[in-house]
Structure 1
Amino acid sequence: MTADSIPKTQKVVLIDGVGDYDVIKYQDSAVPSIGDNELLIKNKYAGINFIEAYFRKGIYPVQLPQILGREATGVVVAKGQSVKNFDIGDKVAYMSSSTFAQYTKYSSSGLISKLPSETTDDQLKVYAAALIQGLTALTFLDEAYKVKEGDYILLYAAAGGVGLLMDQLLKERGAHAIAVVSTEEKEELAKKFGAEYVINSSKEDILKRALEITNDKGVDAVFDSVGKDTFDISLNALKLKGSFVSFGNASGPVPPFALSRLSSKNIRLMRPTLFGYLAEPEDWDHYSKKLFELIDSGKLKIAITKTYPLSEYKIATQELESRKTTGKLVLEIPQ
């Protein structure tokens, strides 16, 4: 593709307000112009994440209108005159805002990796599906709470995108994963991906079962992506000096609470974000290489359950938010 062949307009998915699904729009938008140190990437696949719903609902405020998307794979089609580390035609995987679009501009020194020239379309799809959730799983299990062999770990949404990756990594590290799911189908999936114990929240008491499994000692750590509805359960399931990693709002944000509630068991409470663990270039290099190696070696399976055309993002997020899906959902960008 030459500069002359890059179109002036493109198809994007954006939100133009805060609210329900009606603020999601699939429409034309200008192709962005790039600066001296930027790349223009023609996207092939983009991963879908819960954070897009948080933007739409106003949980995380953003400037409107906002093109959605946080991760993608594609090909460099233009570069600024100062860019030395990428060439036109390079295949890339990267994390950025505004990836639910045919074209995204991005810094050549950002969270971006050059992929081998022989990378296939199937691999591009897998990498697009794996970036945010795979790096979340790796960094949180290394840094938010460094999981040790023999640890008992309570994990919510264990059949979701991050959950299925954590199931595998916890097993690899010799920890006991206690996976919380909501259906029998998800029970089987969590077990298939390595969970040692499974709690079906639709018919079992999460706290009671977690304490039974740990002989009333409680778990070493909780990874809670649900938020408001599970906060008290998670707190009560922890052992003395346990670690509470809260990283999602699927049921809504955790309401304010008295810090003194952490004192009785010396609980360590964290609210990490992935980007805090990727702040330095060496962090991105370390974890992205580790993720790609795990995927390419077959040690980490990426469960892509459905691929939607970009125009059907609204349908995709309705299915995701209604908890009808497992694994990862991906958008295919029109070429």
Structure 2
Amino acid sequence: MTYAIRFHQPGGPEVLKWEKVDVGKPGRGEARIRHTAVGLNFVDIYNRSGLYPAQLPSGLGSEAAGVVEEVGEGVTELKAGDRVAYGSSPLGAYAEARLIPTASLVKLPDGIDDQTAAAMMLKGLTVQYLIRQTYRVKSGDTILLHAAAGGVGLILSQWAKHLGATVIGTVSSDEKARLAQAHGCDHTIVYTREDFVKRVDEITAGRKVPVVYDSVGKDTFLKSLDCLAPLGFAVLFGQSSGAVEPLNLGLLAQKGSLFVTRPTLFTYAAKRESLVAMAKELFDVVQSGAVKVEVHQTYPLKDAAKAHADLAGRKTTGSTVLLV
């Protein structure tokens, strides 16, 4: 019998239950995957809490690595025994095994192990679209990144540094500042005691930055706008502190004809060819050593509730993986 984490109502970590599930055989265009490692992401909290409503009862998680056990009719690009990973699937990754559309899967190169893959697919693909598509970071840019010691932050800092950018990162503690600095941040701002708008102005000698990457939301967004140079991009890709209040668009004119976007991985990776190209670029920078993906915490999959509590309590850094 196969087990999975499921929830029957939105709420705190306590709603997550370890339950028996019937996986069945793959249908047309599907594969049955036996998971080895599952990625933990803040979006999982949004799904569990009801901020992003799911059809209940529901599985959880959209990022994992594992091995193909069986493929359905019409599947030619994968076979049983292939190592695969995904980062933008329908909910259900918190499971020992599952059925999944093969359009969501990419083959893993030999140089990337399963834990690394589970830790980097959603976060790494997110970074790819953020810095290579939403705003294309180039050599000489100075960028601002909130939550620089988080899973996305550590990957984004390294990749942006590899591209020749100067990275300013905000963090909540000196410990997280040291971690961010070790992963490419040129300047760290401990926002619990420093005004990050003032510090960005000082660091850039008043020029400000062309882009802010903000996954914090309510607590940072309006001040993020004050860090932008004219025609700058505010890229809001999360809301760990809560949803941003309705915005008077006139502010964007007043602050320098600014751009605001709320992108998602599901949009950028919606086409199979886009997903494959994004994953290839991610695998290349990881295998080259330009970006190092480090798993800082692991939990047994059945202890997902504990992992959620620690993530929400900001007790984790970098990437966390649930082991199957």
Partner of 2:232: 242
What is residue 18 of structure 2 aligned with on the other side? 26
3-state SS of paired residue (1:189): helix
Asked whether 1:74 is paired with 2:69, we answer no
**1:99 partnered with 2:93:** yes
The reply on whether 1:309 has 2:309 as its aligned counterpart is no
Q: Give the equivalent residue in structure 1 for 2:53.
A: 61
The one-letter code matched in structure 2 to 1:26 is W
Corresponding letter in the other structure for 1:28: K
Aligned ranges 1:1-335 → 2 under 5 Å: 9-95=1-87, 96=89, 97-108=91-102, 110-116=103-109, 119=110, 123-264=113-254, 265-333=256-324
Q: Measure how far apart 1:145 and its partner are.
A: 0.9
Q: Give the TM-score of the pair, scaled to structure 2.
A: 0.96
Aligned-partner residue type, residue 156 of structure 1: H
Moved over 6 A (4+): none
SS in 2 for 1:229: coil
Q: For 1:174-224, what per-residue CA distance to the aligned partner results, in whole angstroms no more than 9, with x for missing partners?
A: 111110001111111111111111001121111111111111222111000
1:321 Cα shift? 0.9
In 2, are the aligned partners of 1:180 and 1:200 still within 8 Å (CA)?
A: yes
What amino acid sits opposite 1:58 in the alignment?
Answer: G
Q: Which amino acid aligns with 2:181?
A: K
Instruction: Kindly indicate whether the alpha-carbon contact (under 8 Å) linking 1:147 and 1:173 is maintained by their aligned counterparts in 2.
Output: yes
Scaled by the length of structure 1, what TM-score is found? 0.93
Alpha-carbon contact 2:13-2:306 (below 8 Å) kept: no
Q: Deviations over 1:247-271 (max 9, x none)?
A: 1010011111211111111001110
Checking the alignment, whether the CA contact within 8 Å between 1:32 and 1:103 is kept in structure 2 is no
Give the secondary structure class of the aligned counterpart of 1:35.
coil
Shift of 1:54: 0.3
Give the partner amino acid of 2:55. Q
Distance of 2:107 and 2:222 partners within structure 1 = 43
Cα distance per residue 1:114-161 (max 9 Å; x no partner): 235xx48x7111011110101111111011111122222110000100
Whole-angstrom distance in 1 between the partners of 2:108 and 2:186: 35
Pairwise CA RMSD of aligned residues? 1.4
Letter of the 1:73 counterpart:
A
Distance 2:201 2:84 in 1: 45
Secondary structure of the equivalent of 1:228? coil
AA paired with 1:60? Y
Deviation at 1:87, TM superposition (A): 1.4
Aligned-partner Cα distance in 2 for 1:292–1:76 = 20
- How many Å separate the matches in 2 of 1:242 and 1:36? 45
| Structure 1 residue 34 displacement after superposition | 2.0
> Tell me, which stretches of 5 or more residues in structure 1 are unaligned?
1-8
Is the 8 Å Cα contact of residues 40 and 78 (structure 1) preserved in structure 2? yes
Query: Contact between 1:241 and 1:266, CA under 8 Å: does it hold in 2?
Result: yes
Tell me, yes or no, if the aligned pair for 2:86 and 2:122 is still in contact at 8 Å: no
Shift of 1:27: 1.7
Report if the CA contact (8 A) 2:48-2:60 is conserved: no
Give the Cα separation in 2 of the matches to 1:38 and 1:242: 42
* Ranges in structure 2 where 5+ consecutive residues have no aligned partner: none
* Cα separation, 2, equivalents of 1:277 and 1:37: 21
Q: What secondary structure sits across from 1:252 in the alignment? A: coil
Q: CA deviation at 1:278?
A: 1.2
The CA distance in 2 between the partners of 1:32 and 1:257, in whole Å, is 47
